């Protein structure tokens, strides 16, 4: 899969020293997703059991022991993952996952 954009993840853990614990976990997710070849949401769920699959290609991943949330939009036909959001649960609660 092609992932747009790693810089979003990097900006998150560099934005605040207390988010440094997300670095290794997000990079691990990134490496797995980069090597994946997902055709459909079921394949995402098989790879990441704790992922929440939403409508319209959206998925939410738990990062660092469920401390952070990563929201992506997946275009299965073109094998592209767009990183839409990464943040704490409190930050996640303030967004609309379907429109971000």
pLDDT digits (tens, 9 = 90+) for 36-90: 999 999 999 999 999 999 999 999 999 998 899 999 999 999 999 999 999 999 9
Give the C-alpha separation, 58 to 22, whole Å.
Answer: 21
CA angle 64, 68, 73 (to 5 degrees): 110
Give the C-alpha separation, 66 to 74, whole Å.
Answer: 21
Res. 98: pLDDT tops 90:
no
Whole-number pLDDT of residue 10: 93
Res. 93: pLDDT tops 90:
yes
Give the C-alpha separation, 54 to 22, whole Å.
Answer: 23
Q: What is the pTM of this model?
A: 0.94
């Amino acid at each position: 899969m092609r992932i747009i954009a790693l810089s979003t993840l990097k900006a998150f853990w560099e934005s605040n020293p207390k988010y440094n614990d997300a670095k290794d976990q997000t990079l691990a997710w990134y490496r797995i997703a980069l090597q994946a070849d997902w055709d459909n949401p079921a394949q995402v769920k098989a790879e990441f059991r704790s992922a929440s699959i939403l409508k319209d290609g959206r998925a939410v991943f738990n990062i660092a022991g469920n401390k952070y949330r990563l929201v992506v939009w997946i275009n299965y036909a073109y094998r592209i993952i767009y990183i839409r959001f990464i943040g704490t649960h409190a930050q996640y609660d303030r967004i609309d996952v379907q429109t971000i």
